[in-house]
Amino acid sequence: MAELVSQQHRVNPLTIALDQFDRTAEILHLDEDMRKVLRVPKRELTVNFPVRMDDGRLEMFSGYRVQHNVNRGPAKGGIRFAPDVDIEEVRALAMWMTWKCALVGIPYGGAKGGVACNPKQLSRTELEGLTRRFTSEIYTLIGPESDIPAPDMNTDSQIMAWIMDTYSMQRGYSVPAVVTGKPLEIGGSAGRTEATGRGVTYVVEEVLGYRGERLEGKTVAIQGFGNVGSHAAELLAAQGAKVVAISDVSGAVFNARGLDVNAALQIKNEGVLVSDLPGGERISNDELLELPVDILVPAAIHGQITGENADDIRARYIAEAANGPTTPEADEILRERGIIVIPDVLCNAGGVTVSYFEWVQGLQAFFWEIDQIRRRLKSIISRATRETIATAEKYDVDLRMGASALGISRVAEATLSRGIYP
């Protein structure tokens, strides 16, 4: 963990997000008024609230909810529980959500939320108390027509169930559509848990196909074996890729002949460290990033590929399953070296796409079969990938700038259409 955290503190995600926006605004020739509107959040809330701990002590926690832009529809974005959550990180993530939703063409604006805490040090009772109190604090912002939270780092379907229940108790009736990523029993959607990892696979397949390549036989290293990384590993392997390295906070394991992904999934579910997977060599997370593979999938936290290690990256493709894993300085180095970076706003958009499906199903009280969800997900993600490639070619830029240009231009068009009130 220390290795990942030390990397995380080298960069400010808001600096990355604003740098990407400013460069894209130049490409699109956005006027100064539009830049002023899109560069800042529409609304943000900081709350400080008490939670009674199991031993009777009262602890104070700080939480945040930021709505970056709602010109294309209700705000959408996850809630994360992590020690280093702060307002600037949440602002950056909300901005990226705005572009991501526009990029894949779903009618949402971007939002994000978080609580500065270490959930691993909280009991289940304490975690529930924290979740319910935070929900009460942001109650005035969230709702199925205004702002729909979802799971993110260290939050899951149970956290979403507590949020939905707390909100519903204050409304006086059940409101399943207030959150996505819920358990199936209370209005969740089939395919939601796997959605981000599945979207990564669809995007990679589309990019490779455009370049006349196939996924079958490609070597893959995956940093981070949480929900996104583990599903990406499983699905990439099912399509014929050879997963040669995976990691979690304890370190990484590597086998040039390929790892047994099913065995890795099993020990993960049993609570065993991924680095203890038999049949591989233990390496560090830094060493995993520098392996000579076809595809590197950073699926951990932001700021992992920086100006300090970009020259040592030997993958041919980088598929950003995490948010903001590559800094602008690293982007420039990778571009000069001819390494193709598939940007986060496209690569990990499967999660928000199926969240949209869940929201629609909840509003209609009519639920879809898993095959229908996967088919619609593939259609949306594949189309967005093709449109990103076309936009990148139009402006003669890389895929990150192509995705940013497509997403930002759509939000700018919506802003122009709606005008300035009053």
Active site residues: 112
Element (H, E) at 61: strand 58-69
For CA atoms 318, 321, 326, 332, give the dihedral sign.
Answer: positive
* 21 contact partners, CB below 8 Å, separation of at least 6: 38, 39, 95, 404, 408
Which long-range CB contacts under 8 A does 267-275 form with residues at least 24 apart? Answer: 268/225, 268/230, 273/248, 274/225, 274/246, 274/247, 274/248, 274/250, 275/247, 275/248, 275/250, 275/251
Residues contacting 292, CB < 8 A, separation 6+:
314, 315
Q: What residues pair up with 282 in beta bridges, in sequence order?
A: 253
Distance CA(220)–CA(315), nearest Å, equals 9
**Which residue in this structure is represented by tokens 């809330």?**
45
d(CA 320, CA 290): 15
Instruction: Give me 21's structure tokens.
Output: 């926006």
Q: How far is CA 416 from the centre of its chain?
A: 28
Q: Where are the alpha helices (DSSP H) in 124-254?
A: 124-137, 157-171, 195-210, 227-238
